[in-house]
Amino acid sequence: MEDPPDVRPADRLSTLVDDVAAFGRRLRAEGLTVEPARLATFARAIALTSPEATYWVGRAVLVSRPADTPPYDRAFFAHYGAGFPTERTPMPRMVARVPDVALETPDGSASSTGTASVSPASRVEQLRYKRFELCTEEELARLGELMRELTWSMPPRRTRRRRSSRRGELDMARTLRRSMRPDGEAAGIQWHQRRLTPRRLVLLLDISGSMSAYSRALLIFAHAALSSDDGWEAFCFGTRLTRITGQLRTRTPDAALRAASEAVLDWDGGTRIGDAVKALVDGWGQTQVLRGAVVIVCSDGLDTGEPDLLAEQMDRLHRLSREVVWLNPLKGLVGYEPIAQGMAAAMPYIDLFATGDDLASLEALSQRLSAVRGRSRRPSH
């Protein structure tokens, strides 16, 4: 911005400037944000150093986060030539790990993942709208990583504790304490305010027979979501409720899924949603787990239990929690109406009814939830 370029002999200056400007265009074509000020710094920096340092000079000046390194490398070697002397260190692993997961097909078939012409970005784009039931194991694994990158910011709640702040209520205790130190001289009024904490997220996953095409994806989703906050909980149910929070706290998705499937005894059985919600509210409603939390139920709503029981229990759940979200994969199907008995019974107690059968819908959900913020739907007691 305010940095004028160096004053140097006119001819040398113009070649340098042309060269740097051309490099800048290439970087921008690769998608990096390169402000004029940075290019000016870069020009000045290469004038200070020998040519073999140019690669690292650019890395220091033009790149400012790990994700920018690969595009920088492409632009650099396209502009200065691959034979340019550099000593490259391997890229940060968090960057390097991402693109190659979907490339391997264990059976060696060159299926949709085997085509090298598809760029990683567009493959992500395709995966984003692919329904979970149609995904291969590898794609699910890749999805798991993408889900981890989703930021789940829950609507905040006020806590009992206060913290000092510049506005808010009068903090009498601190004001007095402050004026003790200088022996009674008034030392200025202190203020404090209630602290805000993000609400808890509780996941309730249907793993019954009718949901079997989705259950793996749901567990991967739960694993990814739980990794973003310590207090979050996950339960799953078919005919009975199982808490799988502990199992899903394992770091790798594979180990987590294995542990979870050992804990759950009723895979692919029938569905009794009402009983499951009852067990959840009975068992956890008195604790801090459900009160004021955001509850996400993932189920197709095909219930074999009593609709009345489900309605009653959903009402309890709705009153205890802050938001009840219901993700129903069937909702994505053309012409679907929530008329299945169970679904119809639960509908009045749902704040947000969404699809949740592909990554895009989960992304939309995470954005919706973080937008809930200050709205007060009902008294908190």
Partner 1 sequence: MTTSNVTPLRAPGFPDGISELDAALRQHSYIPDPGLSVALYLGLTMSRPILLEGAPGVGKTEVARTLSRMLGGPMIRLQCYEGIDASQALYEWDYARQMLQVRAWQQDNGNSGNSVAELYGPEFLLERPLLRAVRESGPRVLLIDELDRADDEFDAFLLEVLDDFGVTVPEIGRFTADEPPVVIITSNRTRELHDAIKRRCMYHWIDFPDVEREAQIIRLRAPGVDDELARSVAKAIAALRDMDLTKTPGATEAIDWARAMALLGASRAEGEAALATLGWVAKSREDMWKIRPMFDLPTG
Interface residue list for partner 1 (CB under 8 A): 6-8, 33, 35, 37-38, 41, 44-45, 47-50, 53, 56-57, 59-61, 63-66, 69, 87, 89-93, 163, 181-183, 185, 187, 250-252
Closest separation in Å from C-beta 194 to partner 1: 15
Closest separation in Å from C-beta 172 to partner 1: 20
Give the burial class of 263: count Cβ atoms within 10 A of its Cβ; 0-12 exposed, 13-18 middle, 19 or more buried: middle
Closest separation in Å from C-beta 89 to partner 1: 5
Q: Which residue has the tokens 């095909």?
A: 302
Helix-, strand-, coil-residue percentages of the chain, each rounded to 5: 50, 10, 40
Closest separation in Å from C-beta 94 to partner 1: 9
Closest separation in Å from C-beta 56 to partner 1: 4
Q: Give whichever of 205 and 260 is closer to partner 1, judged by the CB atom.
A: 260
Closest separation in Å from C-beta 48 to partner 1: 6
Helices (H), 50-168: 54-62, 69-80, 93-96, 120-128, 137-149
Going by their DSSP bridges, the two strands 233-237 and 241-243 should be labelled as antiparallel
Q: Give whichever of 74 and 195 is closer to partner 1, judged by the CB atom.
A: 195
Length of the chain: 381
Going by their DSSP bridges, the two strands 323-327 and 352-354 should be labelled as parallel
Closest separation in Å from C-beta 284 to partner 1: 25
Going by their DSSP bridges, the two strands 323-327 and 294-298 should be labelled as parallel
Closest separation in Å from C-beta 185 to partner 1: 6
End-to-end C-alpha distance for the chain, whole angstroms: 54
**Which pair of tokens denotes residue 189?**
């009024």
CA angle centred on 157, ends 226 and 235, rounded to 5°:
30
Helices (H), the chain: 10-29, 36-48, 54-62, 69-80, 93-96, 120-128, 137-149, 172-180, 212-226, 245-248, 253-263, 273-284, 307-320, 341-346, 359-372
Does residue 201 contact residue 296 with C-beta atoms inside 8 Å?
Answer: yes
Q: How far is 254 from 259, CA to CA, in rounded Å?
A: 9
What is the phi-psi region of residue 188: left when phi exceeds 0, alpha when psi lies from -120 to 50, beta otherwise? left
Q: Give whichever of 187 and 213 is closer to partner 1, judged by the CB atom.
A: 187
Q: Which residue has the tokens 């078939």?
A: 109
For residue 57, what are the CA distances in angstroms to 38, 48, 53, 86, 88? 12, 10, 6, 11, 12
Closest separation in Å from C-beta 182 to partner 1: 4
